[in-house]
Chain A
Amino acid sequence: DQQVKQNSPSLSVQEGRISILNCDYTNSMFDYFLWYKKYPAEGPTFLISISSIKDKNEDGRFTVFLNKSAKHLSLHIVPSQPGDSAVYFCAASAWSGNQFYFGTGTSLTVIP
């Protein structure tokens, strides 16, 4: 059963606007969440993470929000740039384990 879900397979956004990518999880033991970006024919690269003791973490144009009660996190990209066009994966892990659980990915297209 999929413990981390990304329900939007794709998203298109105009350059300069905000991109919001969503992720839901089911396991309340998860306490660390990560976002990865993947270009075609390359491996995923780490983008940003958040611990469950926080509800927001920022790094430049990227901000991740965590709503523990709703078991939901989102990645905001502002402003969006054409180079942001990629597949974005969210992932979750629990401090007691050494596994990572990935969503199925959202393909973001930023239109110039």
Chain B
Amino acid sequence: DVKVTQSSRYLVKRTGEKVFLECVQDMDHENMFWYRQDPGLGLRLIYFSYDVKMKEKGDIPEGYSVSREKKERFSLILESASTNQTSMYLCASSTNPGTGVNSGNTIYFGEGSWLTVV
């Protein structure tokens, strides 16, 4: 089974603190993602990475950065936490699609990290 592990389930941080959220996957997946989930807004993509040291901005990258130094590990960094970053953060991974149309792939999620910024 695919395992995506997020290092912290619950965190409470102060405004202005630097926050690191770590994620590790054990299936040698090329792609890794960070989402946040907020009520009524669904899953919003923050950043994703399709290879080591590569990153792409998602829909809401402002206030966040990421690091992917190893294939299995993808870190989300809040440089200076703010109260509007209080949320559930979800890490995920997937393989690349297979060759040809309709060779779909599946995205697998970690358990989530609840971050409260006070």
Interface of B is mostly: loop
Indicate whether B111 reaches chain A with its CB closer than 8 angstroms: yes
User: Per-position contact with A for B91-111: 1 when CB-CB < 8 Å, else 0?
Assistant: 010101110111111111111
* Residues of A close to B25: CB separation below 8 A: none
Indicate whether A53 reaches chain B with its CB closer than 8 angstroms: yes
Interface residues of A in 1-42 (CB under 8 A from B): 6, 9, 31-32, 34, 36, 41-42
Q: Which of B30, B33, B109 is the one whose CB lies under 8 Å from A45?
A: B109
Interface of A is mostly: loop
* Residues of A close to B109: CB separation below 8 A: 36, 43-45
A88–chain B nearest beta-carbon distance, Å: 11
What separation, in Å, do the CA atoms of A44 and B103 have in the docked complex? 22
What separation, in Å, do the CA atoms of A98 and B93 have in the docked complex? 10
User: Per-position contact with A for B11-28: 1 when CB-CB < 8 Å, else 0?
Assistant: 000000000000000000
Interface pair A98/B41, CB less than 8 Å apart: no
* Residues of B close to A51: CB separation below 8 A: 102, 104
Interface pair B102/A43, CB less than 8 Å apart: no
Given known A-B contacts A95-B100, A95-B104, A9 and B112 have beta carbons under 8 A apart: no
Interface pair A42/B111, CB less than 8 Å apart: yes
Chain A CB within 10 Å — which of B48, B90, B103, B107 has the most? B107
Interface pair A41/B114, CB less than 8 Å apart: yes
- Residues of A in contact, count (CB < 8 Å): 29
Write the residues of chain A forming the contact surface with B, with a CB cutoff of 8 angstroms.
6, 9, 31-32, 34, 36, 41-46, 49, 51-53, 89, 91, 93, 95-100, 102-105
Given contacts A44-B43, A100-B107, 4 further A-B contacts (CB under 8 A): A41-B114, A43-B90, A43-B92, A98-B31
Write the residues of chain B forming the contact surface with A, with a CB cutoff of 8 angstroms.
4, 30-31, 33, 35, 40-43, 45, 48, 50, 88, 90, 92, 94, 96-98, 100-112, 114
Q: Give 18 A-B contacts (CB < 8 Å), ordered by A residue.
A: A6-B42, A9-B40, A32-B105, A34-B107, A41-B114, A43-B4, A43-B111, A44-B43, A49-B104, A51-B102, A52-B101, A89-B43, A93-B105, A95-B101, A98-B31, A98-B94, A102-B35, A102-B43
